[in-house]
Amino acid sequence: MSNSETMRLEWPGKPIRITEIDPGFVETEFSLTRFGGDAVRASGVYDGMKPLEAADIADAIVWVVTRPAHVNIDNMIIRPLDEARIDKILRK
């Protein structure tokens, strides 16, 4: 059971909305940090595919928080078209 699911079970009826957003490959500065500033290695993470952008996730968050007060979006999985799963990436 996820933390968001546990919270939903503990706080039903409360004016608290809980959403879990699970993004796939998103091109951010994280890869640069992960590879200690090595820009060539960091950009290689996305070679041959079109990852999501931070703006794609931000747009999803805006959509979630602008739903009517009685609506809760429990889970949202967002992946680029080239990603079927974390281990199944179509690289062209």
CB 82 within 8 A of CB 89: yes
CB 57 within 8 A of CB 23: yes
Predicted confidence at residue 57, as pLDDT, reads: 97
Q: Which residue is associated with the tokens 């004016």?
A: 15
Domain ranges (residues) in the chain: 3-89
What is the per-residue pLDDT across 62-88, written as a single tens digit (0 to 9) for each?
Answer: 999 999 999 999 999 999 999 999 899
What is the per-residue pLDDT across 14-63, written as a single tens digit (0 to 9) for each?
Answer: 899 999 999 999 999 888 999 999 999 988 889 999 999 999 999 999 99
Whole-angstrom Cα distance, residue 62 to residue 59? 5
- List Cβ neighbours of 36 (8 Å cut-off, separation of 6 or more): none
Q: CATH: 3.40.50.300, 3.40.640.10, 3.30.930.10, 3.40.50.720. Which one for 3-89? A: 3.40.50.720
Count of residues making up the chain: 92
